[in-house]
Amino acid sequence: MPAKALPQSTDRPKLVVGIVVDQMRYDFLFRYQNRYGIGGFNRLLKDGYSFANCQYSYFPTKTAPGHASIYTGTTPAVHGIAGNDWYEGAQKRQVYCTQDDTAKGIGTSSRAGKMSPRNLQSYTIGDQIRLATNFRGKSFGISMKDRGSILPAGHSANAAFWFDFASGNFVSSNWYKDLNGKLPSWLEAFNQSGIARSYKDTVWKPLLPLNQYEASSEDLAVWEKSILKLKPPVFPYRLSEDGTSDYNIVFNSPFGNDITLLAATRLLKEEQLGKDNDMDFLSVSFSCTDVVGHDYGPFGIETEDTYLRLDRNLEALFKTLDKEVGAGNYLCFLTADHGILEVPAFLRSHKMPSDLFRTRIVGDSLKSFSQKTFGSAGLISSFINEQISLNDSIITALHLNRKDVIQSIIHWLEKQPNVRKAFAYEGSRPFPEPPFLNKYEAGYFKGRSGDIQIILGPGILESGSDKGTSHGSPYSYDSHVPCLWMGWKIKPGETMNPIQIQDIAPTLTSLLHIMEPNGCTGKPQTIPLKP
C-alpha cells in the first residue's frame, strides 16, 4: 500500500508589514485622493481590501493605546496602555507609556534610551509571529516615536528603533538582547550619514501651487500654530531658522516621515526580511502627520502637503517591498492610531459649534473646591487624560467617605461648561449612555486610569490655546480610521460592515493560521482571498 503524501506546508506570506499613519482620519483617504499618485494610498484602495467603518471602541484615543490596541487585538482594559502618560496612584507618580527605568540606551546615554515594552501587558502580532516560527522569524519596529516602534514590535522583538531628538540618531535599548549592546552596523552607518542634519537644513515648500490645495483653507490662518516660533504659519519654512541644536524641527515637518522611510527600507534590506522560509514581521509608524496635524489642523495646507508627501513615501515603500520580497509574497495593512478634531476656532468661523475645555483652569478651580469642601486641595492627585485621580491617604486622614467625595466632585464637574458627563468606574451612579460607558470600560485599567472620568461634548477640545488642535475623545472624528489590506492573496474590494480596531490582530492571525495575541478580545473579520 503506497504511503500517504504529506500535506503541503501552510501557505503564508514571507513578510507581514503593519503601517500606522499617526492621526489619520478615515476621510483623509478621499479628501486628498485626486492629488495622490497611483502608487501609494490609491494603490491600497485599488489593489487592496478596505474596511470603511473601522472604529476605536475605547477612549482616550491617543498614540500609545492606539498602537498597542492595533497590535495586541485588545483594548487598554487588557493591554494596560491607558494613555501616552498616566498617573499611578500606588506609586504617586506620572508614568510614560514605554518608560523603563531599568533599561539602558543603545546608541544614546540620555533618557531617550530608557524605554521598553515592559508596561505592555499583552503579546503583540510580532510576538505571535516569533512564537509561530519558533523564534526563527524576525520582528522589528521602527518609528520616530518610541511608542510607535516599541509597542507594535512586542516583547520578543529582535529590535525596535526610534529617534533621539537630541542627537538626530535612531536608537534602541538593552531590552533587545539580539542587539548585544550595540546598534547594528547598518544603522550606525545610517546615523553617521548626516541624513537628519541634511533635512534640518531643508526649506519646506509646498509640492503644488497653493491654489491647488483645494481641500484646505487659506495659507495664513489665525488658528494655526507655526513650526517656527518667531515666524508666521505660512510657506516657505526654512527649518534652519529654528535656531535650536536638536532635531525637533525635523519631527515637526513632513521630512521626519522621509527619514522614517529611508531607515525602514534600509532595515528591510539589511536584515534580509522576507528572504527565507520563516515569516518575518515589520511595523512602520509614520509620526509626522500627527505633529503637523496638531499645529495646523485638518484644514491646514501644511497638513494636506504632508499627506501628499507621505503618499510618495508609501509608493516608495511598496516599490521596495515589490523588489525585495515580491508583490505576492508580503501582506501589509495600514491603519491609524486615532483621528483628530478640526481646530475649534476654524469650526466657529463657519458657525459650527465648538469650544475649549481648559484643564489647567478647571483643575485649579477643582482644587479650590476641594480645599473649601473637604479641607485639602491635595485630595486631587492628578488631572490627566480627562481623568481625575484622588489621594486616598488624605481621604483616610480626613476621615472622609470616599464615595461621598467622588459624588461631590462629580456633581461639581457636571456644572462646569462643556462637561457632558462625569462618572466613576467604581461607586458611581449608573451612566445613562451605554456606548460611552462601554468605551470607558474598554479604556479603563485599574491603577493606571483615574478615579473619575470626564466626557466633554462633541466638538469640545481639551486645550489651553485657541491655536491648533488635538484628539482623545470617544467621538467619530477621533475614532474613525482607515483599515486597508494589500498584498499576499488579498482580493480587491470594500465592505461597509463595522469593525473595531482590536479586530485587526485576530483577522491577521487567522489569515496566517497562527494563534492570536494572548490578551486578544477582537473578532476576526472576513477578507476575500484569491485562490
190 and 48 in a single domain? The answer is: yes
Query: Does one domain contain both 231 and 185?
Result: yes
Category of 30 on φ-ψ map: left (φ > 0), alpha (ψ -120 to 50) or beta: alpha
Percent of residues, the chain, with pLDDT higher than 90: 92
| Domain co-membership, 82 together with 176 | yes
Percentage of the chain with pLDDT > 70?
A: 96
pTM score over 0.85: yes
Return the DSSP state at 110: S
Whether 343 and 360 map to the same domain: the answer is no
Within-domain flag for 324:
no
Asked if residue 229 has pLDDT above 90, the reply is no
Mean predicted confidence (pLDDT) in 346-371: 96
Paired with 204 in beta bridges are 237
| Residue 263 Cα to chain centre, angstroms | 19
- Is residue 316 in some structural domain? no
- Whether 98 and 247 map to the same domain: the answer is yes
> What's the CATH number where 497 sits?
3.40.720.10
* 302 and 236 housed in the same domain: yes
Tell me, yes or no, whether 238 lies in a domain.
Answer: yes
* Inside any domain, residue 5: no
pLDDT at 1: 45
Query: Is 1 within a domain?
Result: no
Summarize pLDDT for 82-126 with one digit per residue, the tens.
999 999 988 889 999 999 999 999 999 999 999 999 999 999 999
Angle, nearest 10°, between helix axes 146-153 and 63-72? 20
| Residue 6: pLDDT over 60 | no
Residue type, 351: K
Q: Are 23 and 295 in contact (CB under 8 A)?
A: no
pLDDT in tens, 162-205: 999 999 999 999 999 999 999 999 999 999 999 999 999 999 99
Q: Mean pLDDT score of the chain, rounded to an integer?
A: 94
Q: Determine the pLDDT at residue 425.
A: 75
Residues 491 and 432 in one domain: no
Are 385 and 342 found together in one domain?
no
Is 206 inside a domain boundary?
yes
Q: Among 427, 458, 489, which residue terminates a domain?
A: 458
Average pLDDT over residues 382-393: 94
The one-letter code for the residue type at 488 is W
**Residue 4: pLDDT above 50?**
no
CATH assignment of the domain containing 441: 3.30.1360.150
Q: What is the pLDDT of residues 501-519, one digit of tens each?
A: 999 999 999 999 999 999 9
Show which residues are catalytic. Answer: 63
How many domains does the chain fold into? 2
Domain-located, residue 502:
yes
The domain boundary, picked from 424, 458, 492, lies at 458
DSSP letter string, 222-267: TT---SSTTS-S-S-EEGGGG--SSSHHHHTSTHHHHHHHHHHHHH
**Among 483, 397, 487, CA closest to 17:** 487
Stretch 297-304: mean pLDDT, rounded?
98
Q: Quick one: 344 and 362 in the same domain? A: no
Q: Is residue 528 part of a domain?
A: no
Cα distance between the two ends of the chain: 32
- Type of residue found at 358: R
410 with 434, same domain? yes
Summarize the confidence of residues 408-423 as an average pLDDT. 94
Out of 413, 431, 458, a domain closes at: 458
* The pLDDT value given to residue 531: 87
Instruction: Please indicate, yes or no, whether residues 102 and 238 belong to a single structural domain of this protein.
Output: yes
**pLDDT of 528 over the 90 cut:** yes
Domain with 425 in it: 355-458
Average pLDDT over residues 405-422: 95
pLDDT value of residue 10: 64
Q: Are residues 446 and 496 in the same domain?
A: no
pLDDT of residue 455: 92
Q: Which three cell numbers, joined as nine digits, stand for 159?
A: 529590535
For the cut 90, the answer to whether the pLDDT of residue 280 exceeds it is: yes
